Amino acid sequence: MIVLGIESSCDETGVALVQAQGERVPRLLAHALHSQVDMHRAYGGVVPELASRDHIRRVLPLARAVLAEAGVTLAEIDVVAYTRGPGLAGALLVGAGVACALAAALDKPAVGVHHLEGHLLSPFLSQDPPTFPFIALLVSGGHTQLMRVDDVGRYELLGETIDDAAGEAFDKSAKMLGLGYPGGPALARLAAFGNPAAFDLPRPLLHSGNLDFSFAGLKTAVMTQLKKRGTNVCEQDKADLAAATQAAIVDVLVRKSMTALRQTGLGRLVVAGGVGANAQLREQLDAQCAKLGARVHYPEIELCTDNGAMIALAAAMRLQRGTVQVRRDYTFGVLPRWALAEA
Ligand code: KG4
Ligand code: ZN
């Protein structure tokens, strides 16, 4: 079974082909990506209308590229998968529309996929794939969640952010430090030159006794520190503040993940979403999981941020288990807001 996957929920157009055989973990045949980062940079963030228009421009050339790279013809595609939500409505509609049109033309089924399900299954395409059950730490620009994952489609939300997402905290702090968009990777680069102990930043909800997160106070704390320094803020201050911000975010994510492992007694952690690319986060999760005797699994770095491979993979894994609504009527509706536990 060959699945073509299309991702268009935000500012990346991704297309990929995976192949599933029997019950084995599906194999990635090819994937291609176009990031809109350069286009949105001028505006300091994603402009939804521009995102939608760019997805329209990119999706078919990317589809042609993956078919050529994999040596697969259109006729050999068995299922067309797309991101149904959550995400930007207009952007999602582009992928859904193209996927359903293609499926109709090929007389093959179309499958709508939950974006976060794609992220949390993405480590199955890595050199070191996990096995079920595991704890998933989902950390992206829009979400911060800890889930218990017993199998594909069996997700229990253990805790989530009550305000900003971890990626948002990176992005907003980076903006205040004048680092532009996207902020996460830029802040991480600057943090390498700073001393995280130079500023004492808050770690909200660290001792809340539950697995929820809160990051909105962090940007206020960063702003307060910058205001205190006023015009005297030097490059070293900025690097120190970047390091302290990263340390605060990473500290909370790591400690809550360890609590989730201890509370459930599970021995595996899967980290997914854009913030999962953060080197400091990976280093500390590796160290703490080793102490706990738990294994930690990551997607390959290139599949940490949004991509089509995770969408094709999630559809293929659901199809293998028969737990997906396969549509042949080619009508489609996207779900800009959609809880993973309801997918
Ligand atoms: O999963 P993703 O690509 O898109 C969403 O679904 O949101 O995540 C994007 C987020 C952004 O907030 C970005 O700043 C953050 O992931 N990010 C990072 C790093 N790379 C991406 N944050 C910290 N360190 C990184 N290396
Ligand atoms: Zn994402």
Q: Render pLDDT for 331-341 as a digit per residue (tens, 0 to 9).
A: 888 999 999 98
Surface-to-core class of residue 253, CB atoms within 10 Å of its CB (0-12 exposed, 13-18 middle, 19+ buried): buried
Which pLDDT score, from 0 to 100, does residue 51 have?
A: 98
**Does the CB atom of residue 88 touch ligand 1 within 6 A?**
no
- Which one-letter DSSP state was computed for residue 25? P
CA of residue 226 to ligand 1 center, whole Å: 24
Ligand with the closest atom to the CA of 169: 1
CA of residue 96 to ligand 2 center, whole Å: 16
- Mean pLDDT for all residues in the chain: 96
Per-residue pLDDT tens digits for 290-343: 999 999 999 999 999 999 999 999 999 999 999 887 878 888 889 999 999 888
CA of residue 263 to ligand 2 center, whole Å: 27
- The pLDDT > 70 percentage for the chain reads 100
Greater confidence, 112 or 324? 112
Q: Whose CA is nearest to atom 2 of ligand 1?
A: 274
CA of residue 77 to ligand 1 center, whole Å: 31
Per-residue pLDDT tens digits for 67-102: 999 999 999 999 999 999 999 999 999 999 999 999
Instruction: Please report, as a single letter, which amino acid is at residue 167.
Output: G
**Does the CB atom of residue 164 touch ligand 1 within 6 A?**
no
Which pLDDT score, from 0 to 100, does residue 88 have?
A: 98
SS3 of residue 180 by DSSP = coil
C-alpha–C-alpha distance, residues 26 and 311, integer Å: 12
Q: The whole model's pTM is what?
A: 0.95
